[in-house]
Amino acid sequence: MPFLHRYLGNPVLSYIGRLLFPSAIGDFHCGLRGFRRDILPTLDLQSPGMELASEMVVKATLNDLRISEVPTTLSPDLRSRPPHLRTWRDGWRHLRFLLLFSPRWLFLYPGLALMIVGLIAMIALLPGELRLFGVGFDVHTLVYASAMIVVGYQAILFAAFARIYAMATGFLPGRPWLEDLNDRLSLEAGALVGLGLIVAGLAMSVVALFVWGDTGFAELDYRDTLRLVIPAGTMLILGVQTVLASFFISILGIERSGAPGRRA
């Protein structure tokens, strides 16, 4: 095997595969596979290229099938034609496939991390300037904290969209607890949560307006008013996203339920 394939591509991609899809398989890319003839059609394999090797392991793992690995010896290829494997193109295709089959790692976990960091930063900066190691963090950092919260929340919504669509189309196997949760949450409940955030954002905006009015609508210290305006704007954005997401998730559930309004 070429150096990059042996010490970078194969070990790293196989490690990522085991991380995203817990399995005892050491090599996700070995081209020597044996499988039960009656089981393989049920996996609905669709990859058009080299990532087919990973798809077999991933889908077998997701469907809780028994997988065994037998050591093999790789011998030099004595054929005269050049190798058809393209290092970076096919490596990216394998990585892309692994990520697309794992909405948790692609959307959910990064989104949660962004939201948590953004919320911590926003809460820490709301009382006033924060100084750490001689560096002052103020409303400019608060803007970035708001952006992290919004982007993180959007990523979490994408995780929900991807998972529900994947289960509805059979792209990924269903999970009973996810389906039960999806049945319990209605369009109306999601819309009410979103409207609650919008009302809270509007209320903070009104407070900021009154603070401005107390000065006769004169010039204000932006560092004080932005501590009201930025959280208010953040809640307004999250509220609108929640309302729209509730309708979109309800649309995704129509195919399975046959009636709108029962998915959120």
- Sketch the domain layout of the chain as residue ranges: 3-100, 103-257
Nearest CA among 123, 98, 198, 114 for reference residue 155: 114
Q: In the prediction, which pLDDT does 197 show?
A: 93
pLDDT band, residue 175 (cuts 50/70/90): low
Please state the pTM of the whole predicted model. Answer: 0.74
Is the model's pLDDT at 3 over the cut of 60? yes
Distance CA 142, CA 133 (A): 18
Q: In the prediction, which pLDDT does 177 show?
A: 56
Contacts of 67 (CB under 8 A, 6+ apart): 23, 24, 25, 57, 60, 61
Nearest CA among 26, 163, 178 for reference residue 105: 163
Mean pLDDT of the residues in the chain: 81
Q: In the prediction, which pLDDT does 261 show?
A: 41
Distance CA 244, CA 252 (A): 13
Q: In the prediction, which pLDDT does 56 show?
A: 86
